[in-house]
A and B are shown apart, each in its own frame.
Chain A
Amino acid sequence: MKILIVDDETEFLDLMHKRLERRGMEVDTADNGTDAVARVEQGAYDAVVLDVKMPGMDGLETLRRIKALRPEVPVVLLTGHASLGAALTGMELGAFDYMLKPVAINELIFKLGEAVRHA
């Protein structure tokens, strides 16, 4: 399974990268929306994990562009803000699911598995 994780917090990226790789996943990271969109355009990802709140192009805009490029790639949104509006908007934009930080790694892996099986 090949995953792209997008988050402006590099510490979080490194941690997730390590943990997901340990579970047998292939992981790429991007620390901003523009980079993420470029990577999705080039690479074949099974799923994208995307932080909603980023400086520059924010998560929802990134999601919109990813979905325009590759509607079939499932996107799991992550956020540190419990914002109901953002959660529902994200899912209406085509996000597969929405998770709040702190993320339990098992839960994320389960969600990714679900997303990929469903895709």
Chain B
Amino acid sequence: MGGFFHTLGALFRRQDVPAPGDGVPDAETERLRALYRERCSRFRLLLSANKSALEIMADMEEALRGVRPFGMTYVRGACTRACASVFQIVRHLNALSDDRWPELETKFDEIRAGIEAVVAPHVRAGGGPLVLPIAETGVDLADQAGGKMANLGEIRRRLGITVPDGFVVTASGYQRFMEAGGLQEEIDRRVQAADATRLDEVFALSASIQQLILAAPVPDDLAGAITAQVERLAGPPHDARTGPHPGINACSGAEVRFAVRSSAVGEDSLDASFAGQYRSELNVPPEDVLDTFKDIVASKYGVTAMTYRLARGIPDEDVPMCVGCLVMVDAVAGGVAYSRNPLDLRDNTVVINAVPGLPKAVVDGSFSPDVFVVSREVPMAVAQRQIAAKPQRFVRDPIEGVRLEDMPPDLVDAPCIDDARALEIAALAAGFEVFYGEPQDIEWAVCPEGVLTILQSRPLREARHDELPEGECAPVAGDDGTDAAETDAAGSALSGGDVAAGPTESGPLPGGYNCGESGPPVLLLGGTPVSPGAGAGLAHVVRKDMDLLSFPDGGVLVIERALPRWAPLLSRASAVVAEAGGAAGHLASVAREYGVPALFGLPRAAELLEHAGIVTVDADNRRVHPGRIEDILGHAPRRNLMEGSPVHTALAEAARLVLPLNLLDPESPRFAPAHCRTLHDITRFCHEKSVEVLFGAPDPTSPAGPGAQRLGKQLRVNGTKLQYWLLDIDGGFRKPVPGPVVDLADIASAPMLALWDGMTAVPWAGPPATDARGFLSVMLESTVNPDLEPTAATTLANRNFLMISRDYCNLQARFGYHFCTVEAMAADNPHENYVTFQFKGGAASADRRALRARFVGEVLEARGFRADVKDDALFASLEGLPKERILTLVRGVGYLLIHTRQIDMVAHNERVFGPIRDRIAADMAKIAPVAG
């Protein structure tokens, strides 16, 4: 045993020194007592750090399962917290034991270094040119120019296709801007300090960071490089004679303006679309390019982009925001072309969405476009035309950049491109697919001179196939416009469909699909499925940003227009219904990417679903039903968007050094610092040893001589000695206890007595009668968990420990694998008071253990505890209540401690579990009633 206890013991055994509590202590005794209290206090701190460490580990474990999104700030934060807690644990144990395990520090440093290597931000090599002309870019420069601009350069260079002239502010240029004046550092600090899972915090954070970026000066060298490029394209400022630069593009018109758009690295090449998250500014005058550059950079921290990166596990630092500045094309028509049908890549068609004026209306989902479906069979032919009513178009405007303009009445219903143009676009799209080796999503524009210009090309994302409908229902009439569309009275698969006049009783409606003779009631029918599948939830109409904040988890998003600004809700929505918008819009892309079923083009949907409550959206069959209809929903699990992402991978790698527990058996010779491979191992080792050091220390007051007794006193109740050992910090015993045993009657600690009261208030009925499956589950666990081995010897490892003072009690009990901890402070000042209850594990399989943890958590929450349940771990706490209420709640916790043992074995079986639950509720109502 450590030197401290040895000295303490030796001193107390001296005949001339009175034992604690006998008469007046001398100064030396008083000093030693103070030291002893210091040790007890350290032990408490160790337990507290132990609790934090386990809490963080449980949280990391949950995060790894990918059920909620998290960013690199989470990974770094969790690792830092875990390391800081374990550092504290090691420090406290070594202080308690007079440095008995110095090698723990070496082990800790090794593990910590490993974790640090995983989570350290990787430094991107700078040093490239700050700007690059489009003509000089190509896919080999995607890391510098960003995917979008690199692709444009490639198309021009390799295929000789017309693209706008322009330049790109490279990743090096971006880095130069972000590093000047510590901008990036300040942004990272703000991101770390916010709770990214709360949308209201993300809004505030996003606004503050964007302001910061907009206020930051562009460093001189970068500003100079950008201005030089702008002058190359537009001529020197205030010099009208020079006119436009004879660029690659012939459509720039008399006065050169720019389209300034994001070209973030990885934007199009990752398995992630980033659709519509970043800003694009159209028709920017040369003198505004520098400010607009900052606008685009700031949009990296827009709400949509931040929530998207979070949901997809993409670290902020992996997305350098390159910015492309292209000479503006004065489009008479434009749109998007898919080299394949995005709803079914096997379908042999090219799908073109076209609008008059600038193509903006297609991508932002403002209007329903004309749709041309071109068969890829040679010779290509227009297989279908769906001409939408287009009352307005976007045009360039010298003041506003772009504005909406009414269409001449005779052109509202006219096709905005002819078949020849559609075939030209289709041929190009098919050619791009061959060139890139995968289906492409192309943005195009036609300038007044009739030249077809390509604005961007990127890989086409396909909707999930596993949710495409099977069986007797008609196939989805997506963009394909095949047989289904012909039978659809709505007649325009991509531009909206029929809507039922209101809630109807049942059955198919005119203009819809007939899926069977008597289906469930239908609220809405028609529209275009832009992302397949079915989902159910509370219908929530979102019209303004405020509505975003009240959106319920798992709700059905109902919107008037399919704008990209609603994308932050998609990671929480179970389905989307929009009155207007097409499959080519950004929101539709993101819905497909997230696997959220979406049905667009249902006029009056917002009005009709406003108070509809829970609805089921069946995108495949173009219906919205009242209520939740399990038959339609199927059982496809939601895609785990985090899995395989860089952030998830980083967490998984760090977790290998944090979570696995290799030190299982305290009796084994391998239970030693040398065998600690993770932070969990160190935590487990230190906890075990701290208890041993403190409770196993020789009792200096024992009359039986040195080493005969231990400091921990065994609890005796009604003459029977129990497996509970007590350590008195201060005033926990009514009188000095010289022997190895303490009677319950001699305990003065109010919270300990309350706890004991609760533990013994109702006799335990024994383990619940289990079925064979429950028994097997326990047997299986026992084979891997030696702590449950019934024949294990009664050693220190089987004991329960209590540390008490007059107002304080800390129980470390062994119920299963981990210690279960109850800590309570019940003093006269309510501000000091608290109760915490923590357990993890159990004997049954993981899902049943989780059920039990949730059940206990609910019982405690009803009594005002904050209960955090992570898998099978429960962390419950409450504070600031008057002493009497605290003691009542401690009684309740004592009861739960005993009576929820082993109920995990039957937690899945409602027949057995129901009565147990009722009994526990009834007992708790008597022992610790819910506050009135």
Contact = CB atoms under 8 A, between A and B. Distances in A.
Given A87-B84, A106-B879, A110-B879, A82 B192 contact: yes
Contacts of A91: 84, 87-88, 91
Interface stretch (A29-37, A40-48, A64-72, A95-103): A95-103
Interface stretch (B74-82, B656-664, B909-917): B74-82
A83 B115 CA distance: 12
Nearest to B830: A24
A101 B192 contact: yes
Given A82-B73, A91-B84, A113 B189 contact: no
A79 B194 CA distance: 12
B193 interface: yes
Contact of B192 (A88, A100, A106): A100
B115 A84 contact: yes
Contacts of A100: 77, 80-81, 192
A1 to B, nearest CB: 8
A84 B116 contact: yes
Interface in B855-886: 866, 877, 879-880
Given A114-B45, A118-B41, A82 B83 contact: no
B789 interface: no
A76 B335 CA distance: 57
B48 interface: yes
Nearest to B75: A82
A88 B111 CA distance: 14
Contacts of B83: 84, 87-88
Nearest to A25: B831
A54 to B, nearest CB: 11
B41 A117 contact: yes
B195 interface: yes
Interface in B800-855: 831-832, 834
Please tell me the size bucket of the interface on A: 20 to 34
Instruction: Give the interface centre of B44, B80, B116, B866 by most chain A CB atoms within 10 Å.
Output: B80
A75 to B, nearest CB: 14
A109 B87 contact: no
Nearest to A90: B84
Nearest to B115: A84
Question: Considering residues B83, B189, B190, which has the most beta carbons from chain A within 10 angstroms of its beta carbon?
Answer: B189
B931 to A, nearest CB: 18
A23 B831 contact: yes
A81 interface: yes
A88 B87 contact: yes
B189 A53 contact: yes
B103 interface: no
B80 A118 contact: no
Q: Would you call the interface of chain B mostly helix, strand, loop, or mixed?
A: helix
Q: How large is the interface on B (under 10, 10 to 19, 20 to 34, 35 or more residues)?
A: 20 to 34
Contacts of B48: 114
Nearest to A115: B45
Interface in B169-190: 188-190
A30 to B, nearest CB: 19
Given A24-B831, A102-B195, A114-B48, A81 B188 contact: yes
Nearest to A113: B832
A87 B44 CA distance: 21
B257 interface: no
B84 A80 contact: no
B360 interface: no
B115 A81 contact: no
Contacts of A88: 83-84, 87, 112
Contact of B190 (A79, A80, A97, A113): A80
A83 B80 CA distance: 7
Nearest to A86: B80
B194 A102 contact: yes
Nearest to A23: B831
Contacts of B84: 84, 87-88, 91, 97-98
B879 A109 contact: yes
Interface string B104-140: 0000000010011001000000000000000000000
Interface in B13-46: 41-42, 44-45
A23 B881 CA distance: 11
Nearest to A103: B193
Contacts of B116: 84-85
Given A84-B116, A91-B91, A110-B879, A101 B193 contact: yes
Contacts of B834: 110
Contact of A118 (B45, B79, B115, B193): B45
A14 to B, nearest CB: 15
Contact of B112 (A24, A84, A102, A113): A84
Given A100-B192, A114-B48, 19 more contacts: A80-B189, A80-B190, A81-B192, A82-B77, A82-B80, A82-B192, A83-B80, A84-B83, A84-B116, A88-B83, A91-B88, A100-B81, A101-B192, A102-B193, A102-B194, A106-B879, A109-B879, A113-B832, A117-B44
Interface of B: 41-42, 44-45, 48, 73, 76-77, 79-81, 83-84, 87-88, 91, 112, 115-116, 119, 188-190, 192-195, 831-832, 834, 866, 877, 879-880
- Lowest 5 A-B CB distances belong to which pairs? A101-B193, A80-B193, A82-B76, A80-B189, A82-B77
11 contacts: A82-B76, A84-B84, A84-B112, A87-B80, A87-B87, A88-B112, A100-B80, A106-B866, A109-B879, A118-B44, A118-B45
